[in-house]
Amino acid sequence: MTQASYYKHHIFFCTNQRDNAQACCADHNAQEAFEHCKAQVKKEGLAGVGGVRVNKAGCLDRCAAGPVAVVYPEAVWYSFVDKADLDEIVHSHLKNGQIVERLLVPAHVGR
């Protein structure tokens, strides 16, 4: 018997800040993206148990694609440019279960 997930989707935003001048998501407004996504999830009525949880994360080690977010349980990695991209992720993936192909991080892109 499998146990149902506490959340349908869990999205983590890398908000890591590096002090050594290396690329990092914080340099690409990751905190603002996190806050916007969290607000949109609430606005759509998706937040909470059985729905969507929006969290900050430390370094997710995909710096070259930054800023990045990953959606579980599917383990789908996204890169985004603006609020419209985030709105599309919320509406298409988190609400309707449709992966936003154009925003996917290529599998080979890491640090």
- Stretch 54-58: mean pLDDT: 96
Question: What CATH number does the domain containing 80 carry?
Answer: 3.40.30.10
108, part of any domain: no
Report pLDDT for 64. 87
Number of domains in the chain: 1
Q: Is the pLDDT reported for residue 94 higher than 80?
A: yes
Q: Which residue has better confidence, 22 or 11?
A: 11
For residue 2, is pLDDT > 60?
no
**Number of CB atoms found within 10 A of residue 89's CB:** 23
**Any domain includes 57:** yes
Residue 110 inside a domain? The answer is no
Q: What is the pTM of this model?
A: 0.91
Q: Residue 1 above 70 pLDDT?
A: no
Does a structural domain hold residue 54? yes
Give the pLDDT confidence of 66-90 residue by residue, as tens digits. 899 999 999 999 999 999 999 999 9
> Span 77-104, mean pLDDT?
97
Q: What is the pLDDT of residue 3?
A: 59
Residue 18's pLDDT is: 85
Residue type, position 44, single letter: E
User: Three-state SS across 15-63?
Assistant: CCCCCCCCCCHHHHCHHHHHHHHHHHHHHCCCECCCCEEEEEECCCCCH
